[in-house]
């Protein structure tokens, strides 16, 4: 294989995207429950 081919670009972009999405999902798994808890506390103490 020589040079940067469309297949290589697609694979690299896909892999980077997968990694990004997985990191994003991981962040949401940590951050979202905290957001919900915080809001619930705020609602309860109103």
Partner 1 sequence: MSGLDNFSDTYEIIEKLGEGAGGIVYKAYHKRLRQEVVIKQHRKSMSSLEGRRRETDILKNLNHTYLPQVHDFLETDDGVYTVMSYVPGKSFAQLLAEGYSFAPKELIRWGMQICSALNYLHSQEPPVIHCDIKPSNIMLTPKGDICLIDFNISFYLGDRAVLGYTNGYTSPEQYIMALSSESGQNIPGDVRIDERTDIYSVGATLYHLATGQRLSGCREKADIKYLTGFTGDSLAQVIGKALKIDPGQRFQSAYEMFRALENIPKKDRRYVRLLHRQTAVRAVLVALLAGFIVLCGYGVSEIKREKMKEYNDLVAEQISYIEEGNFEAQEEAYRKASELIPSSLESYYQNAYALYRQEKYEECISFVDYDICRNEKLDLLQARMADVYYLKADSCFRLERYEESADTYEEVMRMGTQHAEYYRDYAITLAYNSEEEEAQKVLQEAIDRGLKEDSVYYAKGEIEKALLRPDAALQEFIQCIAVTDDDEMKTRAYLTMGDIYEEKGSNTSKRDILLEARENVPAEEQIQVLERLAAVDIELSDSTGRQEYREEAIEVLNQIISQGWDTFDTLDTLAIQYEKQGDIEKARQTADQMLESYGEDYRTYMRYAFLEIDAQELKSNTQRDYTQFAQYYEKAARLYEEQVKDNNSDAQMQLLEDVYGQVREGGWLE
- Say how many residues touch partner 1, by CB under 8 A: 31
Cα–Cα dist 22/15, whole Å: 11
In the complex, minimum distance from the CB of residue 12 to partner 1, in angstroms, rounded to a whole number = 7
In the complex, minimum distance from the CB of residue 2 to partner 1, in angstroms, rounded to a whole number = 8
Region 25-44 residues binding partner 1, contact defined as CB under 8 A: 25, 28, 32, 35-36, 39-40, 43-44
Give a three-class secondary structure readout of the chain.
Answer: CCCCCHHHHHHHHHHHHHHHHHHHHHHHHHHHHHHHHHHHHHHHHC
Binding site for partner 1 (CB under 8 A): 1-2, 5-18, 20-22, 24-25, 28, 32, 35-36, 39-40, 43-46
């Amino acid at each position: 294989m020589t040079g940067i081919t469309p297949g290589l670009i697609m694979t690299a972009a896909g892999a980077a995207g997968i990694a990004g999405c997985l990191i994003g999902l991981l962040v949401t798994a940590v951050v979202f429950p905290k957001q919900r808890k915080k809001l619930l506390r705020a609602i309860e103490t109103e």
